[in-house]
Chain A
Amino acid sequence: MEATARPAAPSRVTQLIRLVRSAPLTAKFGMLVTLAYAFVALFAPLIAPYGEVEVVSRVPFDGWSAEHLLGTDQLGRDFLSRLIFGARNSISIALVTTIISFTIGCLLGMFAALVGGFVDQVLSRIVDALMSVPDLIFILMILSILGGSIVNLILIIAILTSTRFYRISRAAALNVASLDFVEAAKVRGEGSLWIAVNEIFPNILPLLLSELGMRFCFIFLNIAALSFLGVGIQPPTAEWGSMVRDNAALINMGDITPLIPAAAIALLAVAVNFVVDWMLNRASGLTEEG
């Protein structure tokens, strides 16, 4: 019985490679695109031909040329470089915002489901109240009161988005919280936080993942929209939403350059959702795995 000879388990790296190979084409495409975005964002200063705020041409709205591949913007800055630096700002801000809102929303949602009663009622009504105000108007209002710094922007969007995570995690956790293994954990003397993170969270993760992918895209669009409206990320920081706005005049002249940042946003949204869909299929197909 002792020292049962077991074949060495494949290392995590091999497992990961095998996993990626088994992914469907859409997921592979999504991963490739997401990786490319991440690469560009990380190494922006090395890739971009010019600096982020560097005025390189005296000609604003210059056309595409060998020197300036995508032309220049309204101040004569290199459009391609702005696009590359924009990836850095837009993605990192959206990512941080998503993580914060996911953490707050899920923890509170599971906590409310576990504790129930008065606490649940209070939290849920606060969330209802927050959700009843149209997002964009609410954000505009808060930002105009507190000022449009990046920290304020991230926090306000994170809190508003966390209401969505709260609702979905609370509803899903309610179903799981009535199962015997949660009761068994209570009888074992575990605290609410431990139960939420270890017993409930893994079981509602598939549902939350799908929401996570979608919310990441919405946050991205929200930030872009706010920048477009002029209250989001302030100049001279490059940001895709504001780049569309600043160069919108070009569209009238039949130039598609301002649409490139918009297309970049759309492509990332599609790619992220392809990956999330695949993760979702895998996570919910738990029992079929060998």
Chain B
Amino acid sequence: MASPVIEINDLRIDAKANDEWSAIVRGVTLAIHPGEVLGLVGESGAGKSTIGLAALGYLRPGARVSGGTVRLQGQDLFAIPEDERRRFRGTKVAYVAQSAQAAFNPAHRLMDQIVMVAVDRGGLTRAEAEARAVALFTALKLPDPAQFGSRFPHQVSGGQLQRAMVAMAMICNPALIVFDEPTTALDVTTQVEVLISIRNVIRDFGVAAIYITHDLAVVAQIAHRVAVLRHGVVVEEAPIAQIMDAPQHPYTKTLWAVHEMPVDTSATHLQKGAPLLTISRLSARYKQFEVLQDINLQIGRGETVALVGESGSGKSTLGRVIVGLKEPSGGSLTYDGEPLPPLVSRRSLGTIRRVQIIYQSADTALNPRHTVRKILGRPLALYHGLRGARREARIQELLRMVELDPTHADRLPGQLSGGQKQRVAIARALAADPELIICDEITSALDKVVQAEVLRMLLELQARLGVSYLFITHDIEVVRAVADRVVVMQSGRIVEQGAKAEVFAPPHQPYTETLLASVPDMAVGWLDRIIAERAA
């Protein structure tokens, strides 16, 4: 066997927090051979990205190597000074980040950014580099490869931009590419396209790769071997087929189990009595652009309705119309038999209280300068007039409802984990004693283990409080786990709606079919089957 492209030997990395060094990678040993793809799997905070960056000889600010070596083609990266290490990046080892939107400079054309490393350090002339970039665009199935590079980042779609970033990584023909969650931010349907491109390019060019992800179904399609990481330690490493079929380590087993989320098949709480919210013939537009057309939808008491669709399908806009942030251009909203004024400024506080919204990103939805106590206390004072000891008691009660410790009341959001922040956001919605909660992609920023816990908690709260949920999501697995009814949206219209069992059972509407078929299976070879089907 050829010598490994990269050899990580007993690597230890410390990070500085509050003036103290704590270990975030504790003795990781990995080796990757030419043409091999290693999947690096684990929850957020497990040290995946830190190891991925260490393979580039890079450490985040405030981190240091406290032991072990990283050898790239035999060269110990941390034994040489930083400016020598820099010469390797982009030429021998390259990086594909999670968010291409954030990684590309919006002020420069794609081509300028893609060929920069090749011209600067790769020893190619500008013309050679551009020719190679166009060849890569073709290989990555980007539209109009010859002209693609002359566009700006905002002029191409998210999936195309992610592929452009793969092209940027490939431009110098590196020996190793580190993919850091390259499809996590994409829709399922786009994700498949990007996955196919990445898989083909890796195979055709014979490059070695580290593929970092928390999505096991994705890693099953791409990787030859998988290393499962927890608290900075590799708990299990095995060839893909073996680890998917028979995980050995208990932690690996829980990860796998979480992925198959419990599907709630109990008698669904279908509407009894009058619906809580009725939307009829609703439409909305931004300027001339129709974002919602002829939406008819009902949500009953204690019911969970899942609103599914890709980004741009108008599902979040519908959520904004319901809470009164976006004025509809036609149609009507009826809440509990009463017409609902279109804008929040014209609704009474009593009406506002009954419909709450929880956002996708708890990072931006919670004021970073307010303590949890202040965040939860405000709706209590505003809607229920609670003060002093009674408010404090209710805050403690809310924290217990979302399974947080009462001591968390004194924390700022920055001192909480992602899952804890989302729990605070849920508690804030519950503080109003709402009847309907709109959940706008609330679990998509969380990793699978946390996601499953939050969903379970929401279902338990629903059983206890009888609250209705409108789940806006693109994640079919979440829908399977929580929904009573499913509404499928595409380009501003509802294409299908009905009980979960009906929508998910064939025959499907064509769009529902595509959506369902795009969700990766937890099985090796799923992507090959899709590619074969498309070729046929």
Contacts and interface: CB of A to CB of B under 8 A. Distances in A.
Given A183-B325, A186-B325, A190-B382, A203 B347 contact: no
A187 interface: yes
Contacts of A288: 18
A133 to B, nearest CB: 35
A177 to B, nearest CB: 12
A187 B323 contact: yes
B325 A4 contact: no
Contacts of A189: 344, 347, 349, 352-353, 382
A65 B428 CA distance: 70
Interface stretch (B65-73, B112-120, B356-364, B483-491): B356-364
B146 interface: no
Contact of A184 (B18, B365, B406, B407): B365
Given A181-B364, A187-B344, A286-B412, A4 B323 contact: no
Contacts of B428: 184
Given A4-B406, A180-B365, A186 B344 contact: yes
Interface stretch (B45-53, B332-340, B367-375): B367-375
Contacts of A198: 370, 378
A203 B365 CA distance: 13
A286 B382 contact: no
B325 A203 contact: no
A205 B382 CA distance: 25
A206 to B, nearest CB: 10
B382 A187 contact: no
B361 A180 contact: yes
A6 B410 CA distance: 12
Nearest to A201: B369
A181 B414 contact: no
- What secondary structure prevails in chain A residues at the interface with B? helix
Contacts of B367: 181, 199, 202-203
B357 A184 contact: yes
B42 interface: no
B379 interface: yes
B413 to A, nearest CB: 9
A181 B325 contact: no
A218 B325 CA distance: 42
B365 A181 contact: yes
Contacts of B406: 1, 4
Contacts of B352: 187-189
A89 B364 CA distance: 46
A287 interface: yes
A236 interface: no
B493 to A, nearest CB: 25
A25 interface: no
Contacts of A186: 325, 344
Interface in B306-361: 323-325, 344, 347, 349, 352-353, 356-357, 359, 361
B366 interface: yes
A169 B379 CA distance: 27
A202 B369 contact: yes
Contacts of A187: 323-325, 344, 352, 356-357
Nearest to A176: B367
Nearest to A290: B18
Interface residues of B, number: 31
Contacts of A66: none
B203 interface: no
A287 B18 CA distance: 10
B369 A286 contact: yes
Given A6-B407, A290-B18, A188 B414 contact: no
B188 to A, nearest CB: 24
Interface in A1-27: 1, 4, 6
Contacts of B344: 186-187, 189
A179 interface: yes
Interface centre among B324, B347, B369, B412 (most CB of A within 10 A): B369
A1 B400 CA distance: 9
Interface in A155-214: 179-181, 183-184, 186-190, 198-199, 202-203
A137 B367 CA distance: 43
B448 to A, nearest CB: 23
Given A187-B323, A188-B352, A203-B369, A180 B18 contact: no
B385 to A, nearest CB: 14
B368 A188 contact: no
A199 B356 CA distance: 18
A188 B364 CA distance: 16
Interface in B403-461: 405-407, 412, 414, 428, 432
Contacts of A4: 405-407
Nearest to A9: B410
B380 to A, nearest CB: 11
Interface centre among B324, B368, B407 (most CB of A within 10 A): B368
Contacts of B414: 286-287
A9 to B, nearest CB: 8
Nearest to B370: A202
A180 B359 contact: yes
Nearest to A179: B364
Interface string A276-288: 0000000000111
A187 B325 CA distance: 7
Contacts of A188: 352, 378-379, 382, 432
B265 to A, nearest CB: 33
A188 B429 CA distance: 9
Contacts of A181: 364-367
A190 B353 CA distance: 12
B214 to A, nearest CB: 23
A117 to B, nearest CB: 14
A187 B429 CA distance: 11
Contacts of A184: 357, 359, 365, 428
Contacts of A179: 364
A190 B428 CA distance: 14
Contacts of B359: 180, 183-184
A184 B424 CA distance: 13
A110 to B, nearest CB: 14
Given A180-B364, A189-B349, 15 more contacts: A1-B406, A4-B405, A179-B364, A181-B367, A186-B325, A187-B352, A188-B378, A188-B379, A188-B432, A198-B378, A203-B367, A203-B368, A286-B412, A287-B414, A288-B18
Q: Which 10 A-B pairs have the closest CB atoms?
A: A202-B369, A180-B365, A189-B352, A180-B364, A287-B414, A181-B367, A180-B359, A179-B364, A187-B323, A290-B18
12 contacts: A180-B364, A181-B365, A183-B359, A184-B357, A184-B359, A188-B352, A189-B349, A190-B382, A199-B367, A203-B369, A286-B369, A287-B368
Interface of A: 1, 4, 6, 179-181, 183-184, 186-190, 198-199, 202-203, 286-288, 290
